[in-house]
Each structure stands twice: as C-alpha cells, then as structure tokens.
Amino acid sequence: MSPRRIQTRDLLISLNRGDGARLGRQLEEQLREGIRTGRLAADQQLPSTRMLAQDLGISRGVVVRAYAQLAAEGYLLVTQGANPRVGLVSSAEALAGAGRRERKRGWRFDLRPERPDLTRFPRREWSRSLREAVRTASTAELGYIDRRGLLQVQEAIAAYLRRARGVDVDAEHVLVTAGSTHALTLVARTLLREGQKTLGFENPSNLVLHTLVRRTGLEPVGIPVDEDGLVADALASVDTRSVLVSPAHQFPLGGALTVERRIRLLDWAERIDGIVIEDDYDAEFRYDRVPIGALQGLAPERVVYIGSTSKTLAPGLRLGWAVLPTRLVDPVSSELGASTLHQPAIEQLAFADFLCRGEFDRHLRRMRASYRRRRDHVIDRLNHELPPLRIRGIAAGLHLVVELGGETEEETAERQATAAGIAIDTLSKHALPGYTGPRGLLIGFGATPEPTIPRAIHALAQAVPASP
C-alpha cells in the first residue's frame, strides 16, 4: 500500500522572513518538530523539493539542504527518484538509523567530532577481562542485582574518578548507566518529576543531548558560551533551575570553564537551590596542560557528574556512570530501575577488572599520545592548506574548530565537503535558538589515522570557500 502524500498546507510550516534565523533552519526545525511530536507519521510522504519550494516561495536549494540534514539525522528517508518519507520517530532510533545509512554511504573521510579510533579498541585485553568476568561472577551476580550497579564496580569507578578527575565520590553515589546520554535522560526525568520545566544548555552544545532531553519533556534553553566556557552570569536571566555544562572541554567550541566562572556557576546553583550537570565527555584527552579537575569536586551536593567509556574505549560498549548528590541517588536510580532494572552485570565486572588491571590507564596513555600526534598533524595541514583562519579548541579532545566568516561560508563548506565524501559537522548544527556565536566546521581527528590526515585535510580545503 503506498503511503499518503501530505500537502504543503498540512505540514503547517510558517516561515518568518524577518526572523534572524535562516529560512532553511526554520524549515528544518519545524519539520523535525512535526516528526518528533508524531504529527507527521512514519512513512508519510513529503512534497518533493520542487513542490515545497514553490509552495513556500523559497529557493529549492534551501529545501534540498533541509531535507538532507533531516535525512542525516534519520528523520527522513530519501531515495533517489521518490518523494522523501518520514523515518523513525524516536531520536534514539533516528540516531541509530542515521548510522545505518551512513555505513551504506561509505564516506571517503570521516571528520565528525565525536569519534574515537575504534580500530585501536583493546580487543585482547577487553576479551581477557570479559572472560575473567564470566569465569568469576558469583551466582548472585548472574541474577537481578542492585539497580545502581555492583558494589565492587561502583568502587572501581569511584576510585578511578577520584584519582584521575578529582571527583569527590564514594561508591554509594555512583550509578552505572548505559553511557552519559542515558545518565542525562535519567536525571532529566527526575528533574521533570520534581516540577522543573526547563534545562539550561550551553549554546552551542551537542544536538543529540538537546534532542534526548527534549524527548523527556524538559525544554532546553540556550545560555551563551565564549572562550572561557559558559557565561555563568547569563544564568540569572534564564528561567531554569538546572544546567548542563562541559567544563573541561566545552562541546563544541572547545574552551575550558575558568575558575572564576566555576565559582559563579556554583554560587548560582547554591543561591537558587539548583543542579549543575557536568558532562565530562572527553576529559581524559588533554594535551598541552595538566588535566583540569572536575567541577563536581568543588560542590558534590550541587553537581551531577556524568561520564562514559564512549570516547576512551568505544560507544558500542554503552557503559557510563553518574555521580549523584545524596538527595538524587534514590530518585535517579529508581528511574533507571524503572526502565532496565539494572545494567548488565558481566560488562560491569569486565570493566572493573579492566580498570583494576591497569589496562584502562595503559590504553589511555597510548591513545592520548596518538590523538595528540593527529591533532598536531591536522593543525599543521590546516595551516598549510587553508587561508589563515581561526582555529580554536585545540587543547583537548578529539576535534577542533575552524571558524568561517559566517553561515553562508559554513553552509557552502558543508555542502561541498559532503559532495566530496567528507563527513563533517558544523557549529550551527549544535546551536539552540538565539545563537549568535561563531560559525565554522568541527574537525574530528579521532577516527582518522595519521597517514590519512594529509589527504583528508587536502580534500576538505577544496571545499572551504576562499576567504574574502
């Protein structure tokens, strides 16, 4: 049975030409919202790019780009010669779906920011820990376990976080989760239950995180970011009692939250009895300075600390944690219990074994050196291949930012890079409404082996518009 084609008027698109936001962005957001809320049902056909452009009185290129973006996110299914169809509706499904399509597409170079080098996953050492876990797990550990995790695993994680990140934690405050996004959604649901309506986000910050939080029912609100991280003073004028920050390495701009801002942020939280969620997503990879300790260490009862093995080992493990203030331990753990009962015990035990054997530290040392070389190489090639452009966010992590003149340059670079088979992200993709900061490309080097870097950056340079 062929799905019904929806008419433009039924899409309820209303473009505001006087609004600062680009028409394409408005179109994208309204379609995304329609799909997310279920107004546009899975499999429903949308008008062709030509038809929609004509009906809305905008250029076809704007519609093509909006459809392409939504297809990349998994919201639309685009097949040559057919009208686009609405894809799976849940954001998690959308993200997984995007992964499936990307594999088919086969990028020449993958410069997306969030990817570690999965070819270096320590398979032998992890297998050994897994075997050990299976061999030594008690019968009780093979049954239903505490929803927070196994105590010896909570202890191993707490010891690592105290030592490596300066987190003020004991085992009782650790919740084992399926990654930091999982931890974030559990905290968001808890805040919602407490009656909160919004969650503050750095603007820009990771699109995936906005999407997941919005799905819980909390509304993300953007707070400006500059070189020194979140502009903490701006919180006073925002209607929220909780905020998500990435203090060690702001995603995506790359700054580290200064000491002064840390203090102001915690003062704000104290004053309004608020909660700060600290996303320590890639803090293990810091290259030019000593690691910056976790914000949580300054105020353990105000800060929820979340982290995972997605950058250090592999996202596919789905292994992460939250360190919770005392008052949130029960409600957040019970959110986890209500959905999955607990995280798989064998993987938990394997990770504890991996940590205790020192394999995690050895792997981090190897990867830190390797990523640092890649970063230096990328900077060198960018300086060589591109006109003088501002490069920022180089002190840590698996990506850096190349600033471009504005949205037009960013859009052109993204389009041309995609056409050349380069997977890339832009700053705008991660912006929330009201964003007025720089535009540019995020260049990930985690998944690009060193010998490939010169070719990848050369290909990218062809895509970047010449500077004015």
Ligand X SMILES: Cc1ncc(COP(=O)(O)O)c(C=O)c1O
Q: Looking only at Cα atoms, what is the longest distance across the chain?
A: 68
Instruction: CB nearer to ligand X: give 129 or 308.
Output: 308
Taking CB under 6 A as the criterion, which residues in 195-224 touch ligand X?
Answer: 206
Decide: is 154 part of the binding site for ligand X (CB under 6 A): no
d(CA 332, CA 187): 6
Number of residues that bind ligand X (CB under 6 A): 13
What's phi and psi for 202, nearest 5 deg? -60, 140
Shortest distance (Å) from residue 315 CB to ligand X: 5
Residues 291-330 as x/- pattern, contact with ligand X by CB under 6 A: -----------------x-x----x----x----------
Shortest distance (Å) from residue 73 CB to ligand X: 14
Decide: is 250 part of the binding site for ligand X (CB under 6 A): no
The contacts of residue 334 (CB under 8 Å, 6+ apart) are 147
Cα dihedral 308, 309, 312, 316 in deg (nearest 10): -130
Instruction: CB nearer to ligand X: give 180 or 240.
Output: 180
Decide: is 240 part of the binding site for ligand X (CB under 6 A): no
Residues 113-132 as x/- pattern, contact with ligand X by CB under 6 A: -x------------------
SS (H, E, C) 210-224: HHHHHHHCCEEEEEE
Shortest distance (Å) from residue 309 CB to ligand X: 8
Q: Kindly state the DSSP code that residue 288 receives in the 8-state scheme.
A: S
Q: What is the identity of the amino acid at 54?
A: Q
Decide: is 246 part of the binding site for ligand X (CB under 6 A): yes
Asked whether 155 and 171 are in contact (CB, 8 A), the reply is: yes
3-state secondary structure of 15: coil
Instruction: CB nearer to ligand X: give 66 or 212.
Output: 212
* Selected range binding ligand X among 27-35, 154-162, 179-187, 419-427, rule: CB under 6 A: 179-187
Shortest distance (Å) from residue 191 CB to ligand X: 18
Shortest distance (Å) from residue 115 CB to ligand X: 8
What's phi and psi for 275, nearest 5 deg? -125, 135
CB closest to ligand X, residue no: 179
d(CA 37, CA 48): 22
Alpha carbon separation from 137 to 145, 350, 351, 421 (Å, rounded): 12, 10, 13, 46
d(CA 136, CA 349): 9
Decide: is 97 part of the binding site for ligand X (CB under 6 A): no
Which position among 279, 335, 403, 411 is part of the footprint of ligand X (CB under 6 A)?
279
Alpha helix ranges (H) inside 37-106: 49-56, 60-72, 91-105
Instruction: CB nearer to ligand X: give 251 or 351.
Output: 251
Which position among 44, 91, 129, 181 is part of the footprint of ligand X (CB under 6 A)?
181
The helix or strand, by DSSP H or E, that contains position 192, with its residue range, turns out to be helix 180-193
Give residues in contact with ligand X (CB under 6 A).
Answer: 114, 179-181, 206, 246, 251, 279, 281, 308, 310, 315, 320
